[in-house]
A = this chain, B = another copy of it.
Amino acid sequence: MAKKFKDISMAVIRRLPKYHRYLKELLDKEVYRISSKELSNMMGFTASQIRQDLNNFGGFGQQGYGYNVEELYGEIKKILGLNISYGTVIIGSGNLGQAIANYTNLQKHGFNLLALFDTNPKLIGMRIRDVPIYDIDEMQEFIDTNNINIGIICTPKEFAQDIANKLVKANVSAIWNFAPIDLKVPENIIVENVHLSDSLFIISYLLNNQEKEQWD
């Protein structure tokens, strides 16, 4: 088990995956040592921001040396809980559900996809990357008997709250929600949303409002 951290702000937590990404890139380029200044240039954070962020977790740099990239990457992985395996299921096996099932980063980072579920008889019985699609009616029992931590909701929005209720009842700890709806769940359930249309509408807003500067 990794060390646990408390009372860290969500703003800091949301920056951690970015550290993970950049440190991985450095390792891929065989860079094993980096100063906080170089790291800050790459990432677009100030050096003091980086030091502050990492101090929340104990701080890893050494005055005059900078950061050992491999060591820091390993620590960030542990902090992010990526040294642990999580039982995962996908609910909704249409295009998006299948795309997520095919998403290699799931398996690679310990999100162990064990089943997909759907209501469509044409999909039930199929396999995506060797993972079976089952009837949604079998979900509760499957989760009960397979130690599932995470449910990924890829259903149309009108079914998402009902599925979330069932996932909560089946004792999953976290929901990765792709349906364009804010789920209502008990406080102890982790919900992380990917609201694609919210993201898309930021583009149309900016497209529509940046043009002004060309015309003024």
- The interface of chain A, by Cβ under 8 A from chain B, is 2, 4-6, 8, 13-14, 16-18, 20-21, 44, 79-82, 84, 86, 94-96, 98-100, 102-103, 105-106, 109-111, 149-150, 173-174, 176, 180-182, 188, 190, 192, 194-213
Known: A5-B209, A102-B95, A196-B103. A82 touches B201 (CB 8 A): yes
List of B residues within 8 angstroms of A14 by Cβ: 198, 202
CA gap between A182 and B13 in the complex, in Å: 18
B-chain residues with CB within 8 Å of residue A202 when the two chains form the complex:
13-14, 17, 192
B200 lies within 8 A of A106 (CB) = yes
Q: What would 15 A/B residue contacts be, using CB atoms closer than 8 Å?
A: A2-B208, A4-B209, A4-B211, A4-B212, A17-B201, A80-B205, A81-B209, A95-B98, A95-B99, A100-B196, A109-B204, A111-B200, A149-B207, A190-B206, A192-B199
This chain: how many copies in the complex?
A: 2
Given contacts A4-B212, A17-B195, A212-B6, is CB(A81)–CB(B200) below 8 Å? no
Closest to A21 in B: B180
Further 20 A-B residue pairs, CB within 8 A, beyond A81-B201, A84-B208, A192-B202: A4-B211, A4-B212, A5-B209, A6-B213, A13-B205, A13-B206, A17-B195, A21-B195, A21-B198, A79-B205, A80-B204, A81-B205, A95-B98, A95-B102, A103-B196, A109-B197, A111-B204, A150-B203, A176-B199, A194-B194
Q: Is the CB of A207 within 8 A of B105?
A: no
